Structure 1
Amino acid sequence: MTPGWTAPLRVFAMDHRDSYRTLLGIDSSAAATERARAIKRVVFDGFRDALAELDDPRGATVLLDEEYGGPLVDDARASGALVCIPLERSGQVELQWEYGEELADTAAVVDRMRPDLAKVLLRYNPEGDPDLNKRQEVRLAAMSDWCLERGLPLMLEVLMPPTPEQRAASGPDLARWDAEMRPALMVEAVHRLRAAGADPAIWKIEGLDSTADAAAVVAAARADGRPDVSCIVLGRGADLERVEQWLAVGAATPGYVGFAVGRSLWNGPALAYDRGELDAPAVRAQVAANYLRLCRAWG
C-alpha cells in the first residue's frame, strides 16, 4: 500500500518535454536545450512570484522534469514549494520509464532531485486495445510498486483518448463523448487499474462537469479501504474559464484536494516570450496572475 495523500495540492505543472519541444520547434542540441531551460526559468519565476502573494501557500507544488527543469529544483525548495517529478517518458502512447529500463538510473535521478512526489502519465481507455491495456496495467503496477518501495507518494495522471468506436457513437462533437461517456469510463478505469496493482496516492483526473461524476471517481479511488487517497483536477490545456468550471466541481466534491494545471497557465506567455513579443517581467506577471487566479478559484 502506497503512502496516502489527503493534504491540499495546488500543482503548477511544467514538466512538459515532448509537447514543449513541439511548442518551441526545437531539437535536442545543446543550444536548443539552453534556450528551453531559459524559458522555463522565466515561467518558474512567475510561479515563485505568485507564492509570495498566496494567503495560504499549503500544497503549492511545482511539477518539474529533469531535462529542462532540473536546474530549478533548489530554487523551488527554497521558495517553500513541494517538488514532483515525472517518471514516464514524454509523448509515448505506451508507458515507458523516462530514464530507461535500468531502474538504477531512475533511482539516481530521484536521489538527486529528492522529490516530495512522483508522477506518472498514463493513456488508458478501458474499451481500448486489450493487449495494450494489459501492458499498460502491468507497467503501471511496476511503477507503483517501485514508488512503494521508496515511500514515495505517486500521482497518477490518467488521460483517456476515445476509441474510434466511441468517436463514432458520440458523433462529430467530442464534447458529447466527454460529457456523456468519459465519466463512467473513468470510474471503470480506476477500478481496473487498481485491480491490476496500481496504488497511487493521488489520482489526477481530467475535468468533470458534475459533482456526481466526480464523487463516483473518488469512490472508486477510495474503495476497498483506501480513504487516505485523493483526487485532483487536471487542466487539459483548456482556457482558464473552462478550468475554473472544472475546479468548481472538484472543490465541491469531498475527496478532491486541489488541481494540477500547466499549459493553461504558461503556454501562451512562454511562446510570446520566445517570439520576442513579451519580456521576462511581463511573462512572470501573467504566469503569476494565472496561477493565483486558480488558487483563489479553488478557495
Structure 2
Amino acid sequence: MLGYPKNLYLLPFDHRTSFIQTLFGPVKKLTSTQIKIIQNYKTLIFQAFLLAVKKAKFTAGLPAILVDEEFGLSILKSARKKKVAFLLPVEKSGQQIFAFAHGRNFGRVIQTLQPDIVKALVRSHPALKKENQIQLPRLATLSTWCRQNNFKLLVELLVPPTSADLKNFKNKREAFDRQLRPRLTVQVIKAFHAAGIEPDIWKIEALEKSSDWPKVIQSARAGTERQQVSIILLGRGESFAKVKSWFDVAPKRELNGFAVGRTVFLRPLIDLHSGKINKKQALRQIADNYLELVRYWQK
C-alpha cells in the first residue's frame, strides 16, 4: 500500500550546491578546509535537531532529518545508531533535469545506508516536454525499484515558471505562484502517475490560497491504492512570516507535516560563519527555530 504511516516534521539539510555557494560563492573545486567546514556545519544542524527533540514532545508527528551522504555520511550513521528517522537524497545536486547522483549504482547506495525514506528532487513543468521525456523514465525506474525493495519514496516536486510564464506575469513570481502554479502542479502529478511514478510521500511547494489545496490533494490521492499517500509542504527558504502564512492556509488535517530547512538553519549558520555568533548560540537558535515551526504547525 502506498503511503507513510506517520506525519513528518522534517528538517532537511541535504543542500549541496546552494550550501557551497552561500558559504563560499562560486567555486570550481572545494578545498579540504572548505569540505570540513561544511561537514561541521551539517553536524551542528544535526546536533541542534537532537537538542530540539530532547526539549519537546512530538505527539502528532515524527521528527526526521534529510541529509546527503556527500557531506553528512557520519550524520547518517549516527542517526541510524540513535534511531533517528532519516531520508536520503538520490538526485545529483544542482541539475535542471533529474539524474541519479550515483548513476546506475543508486540502489547499492540505498541498500548500504538503509534510509527510512528515499528522496528525489525534481523540477517539472508541462511545457518542458523534452526534459520530462528524459527524467520521467528515470523517476519511474526509481519508483519501481523502491517498491520492489520495500523502501518508501518521497518525491520533492518543484514547478518553476518558464520564461514564457514570467513574461505573462510581468516577471512577478508571486503572481505565477498564486494564479498558475496550483493548476500546473495538478497536471504534473497526473503526468507522473501516468509515467509509473508512485511516491509514498509528495513534498510540494506551499500554496497561497486554501481553495487551491483540494485539487492538489485529490490528484495526489487519486485511485484506491493512493488513498493513504502523504503530502508535506516545503518552505523554499522563505521567511518565518511567509512559512507561517502557508501553514495558516494549509488544510493541516489533510496534510502530513512539513519540510522546512533553510528557514530554520541558514541565518544562524551565516552569522556563525561571519563570526557574529558562536557555535553554542547557533546551536540554540537552530533548535529553537525548528521547535517554533513544529509548535506553530501543531497549534
> TM-score, normalised to structure 2's length?
0.93
1:62-211 to 2 correspondences below 5 Å: 62-100=65-103, 102-103=104-105, 106-126=106-126, 128-211=127-210
Checking the alignment, whether the CA contact within 8 Å between 1:48 and 1:79 is kept in structure 2 is: no
Match of 1:38 in 2: 40
For residue 38 of structure 2, what is the amino acid of its counterpart?
A: A
1:17-32 to 2 correspondences below 5 Å: 17-25=16-24, 27-32=29-34
1:211-222 to 2 correspondences below 5 Å: 211-222=210-221
Match of 2:58 in 1: 56
Match of 2:287 in 1: 288
Checking the alignment, whether the CA contact within 8 Å between 1:214 and 1:253 is kept in structure 2 is: no
Task: Please report how far the alpha carbon of residue 159 of structure 1 lies from its aligned counterpart in structure 2 after TM superposition.
Answer: 0.8
Task: Please report how far the alpha carbon of residue 6 of structure 1 lies from its aligned counterpart in structure 2 after TM superposition.
Answer: 4.1
Once the two structures are overlaid, the 10-residue window that deviates more, 273-282 or 24-33, is: 24-33
Deviations 1:106-138 (A, max 9, x none): 233223321000100000011x22111221211
Q: Distance in 2 between matches of 1:256 and 1:39?
A: 31
Q: Distance in 2 between matches of 1:174 and 1:242?
A: 14
Match of 1:249 in 2: 249
Once the two structures are overlaid, the 10-residue window that deviates more, 181-190 or 204-213, is: 204-213
| Structure 1 consecutive aligned stretches of length 4 or more whose deviation exceeds 4 Å | none
Deviations 1:147-192 (A, max 9, x none): 1121111111111110111111112322111101101111111111
Task: Please report how far the alpha carbon of residue 210 of structure 1 lies from its aligned counterpart in structure 2 after TM superposition.
Answer: 2.3
SS in structure 2 opposite 1:52?
helix
Q: Distance in 1 between matches of 2:205 and 2:66?
A: 17
Task: Please report how far the alpha carbon of residue 296 of structure 1 lies from its aligned counterpart in structure 2 after TM superposition.
Answer: 0.5
Deviations 1:46-77 (A, max 9, x none): 11110112222641010010011111123324
Checking the alignment, whether the CA contact within 8 Å between 1:170 and 1:177 is kept in structure 2 is: yes
For residue 133 of structure 2, what is the amino acid of its counterpart?
A: K
Q: Distance in 1 between matches of 2:111 and 2:197?
A: 23
Q: Distance in 2 between matches of 1:15 and 1:88?
A: 10
For residue 72 of structure 2, what is the amino acid of its counterpart?
A: G
SS in structure 2 opposite 1:71?
helix
SS in structure 1 opposite 2:256?
strand
Task: Please report how far the alpha carbon of residue 258 of structure 1 lies from its aligned counterpart in structure 2 after TM superposition.
Answer: 0.1
Q: Distance in 2 between matches of 1:211 and 1:151?
A: 34
Checking the alignment, whether the CA contact within 8 Å between 1:237 and 1:262 is kept in structure 2 is: yes
Aligned length: 293
> TM-score, normalised to structure 1's length?
0.93
Checking the alignment, whether the CA contact within 8 Å between 2:204 and 2:232 is kept in structure 1 is: yes
Task: Please report how far the alpha carbon of residue 32 of structure 1 lies from its aligned counterpart in structure 2 after TM superposition.
Answer: 1.9
Consecutive unaligned residues in structure 2, runs of 5 or more: none
**Sequence identity percentage:** 31
Q: CA RMSD in A?
A: 1.6
Q: Distance in 1 between matches of 2:2 and 2:142?
A: 14
Task: Please report how far the alpha carbon of residue 78 of structure 1 lies from its aligned counterpart in structure 2 after TM superposition.
Answer: 4.6
